[in-house]
Amino acid sequence: MGAMAATTTGAFPAITASAATIDVPGIGNFDVPDNFAPQVQQFNQAVKDFQANPGAAIQQLGANPSPGANGFQLPELFPQHQQPSAPAQIALQAAQSKVGAQYSWGATGPYSFDCSGLVQWAYKQAGVELPRTSFEQSNVGAPVAFEDLQPGDIVVTNGGGHVGMYAGDGKLLNAVQTGTPVSYTNLRPNMVVTARRISA
């Protein structure tokens, strides 16, 4: 077999020869796309000013503590996306660890669950105490529209009689019913009675 030519996947933009270089003392140099050159120059100059006269730089920072003081702000190289709250992430991971556990009506874990028992147990692992039933859980946290669901949000279905946790990609992680273990099921907008976001 002949030698294979290197290819690029297109996952990252190519850095041009005229790329700007961020110099981070004690760490190294990093090339970024040249369209960030003005911000990079500001950053590098701020570092040099600090190295030359730390006292004056700290005093100036104390006088201008707000972000972007004097027009300086670090470049935003990557877009920011809203992330699920920490409790929701922890709770979802806890629930995911129970995939395959048996459904048992009235069970609250840790080895078998009913629907609201799984949600309550998962959030308890994140330090959040939720009420016991799906009807009670339908009133906790803040309401969320279907199109704004994030992993870890509580989703109430079946007229209020069933609850699970949104797992992303249109999937609900839930203790389904007798004979069906904790698993992922498809979630459609017309199934949702309410969705709730727990932030703390």
Domain range summary for the chain, segments of one domain joined by +: 20-71, 86-197
pLDDT of residue 83: 54
- Measured in residues, the chain has a length of 200
* Catalytic residue numbers, as ranges: 115, 162, 174
Over the stretch 12-54, which tens digit does the pLDDT of each residue have? 444 445 566 766 666 666 666 666 667 767 777 777 776 777 6
Number of H-type helices and E-type strands within the chain: 5, 10
Q: 75 pLDDT band (50/70/90 cuts)?
A: very low
According to CATH, what is the number of the domain 86-197? 3.90.1720.10
At 144, phi and psi to the nearest 5? -135, 135
Over the stretch 143-161, which tens digit does the pLDDT of each residue have? 999 999 999 999 999 999 9
Share of the chain above pLDDT 70, in %: 64
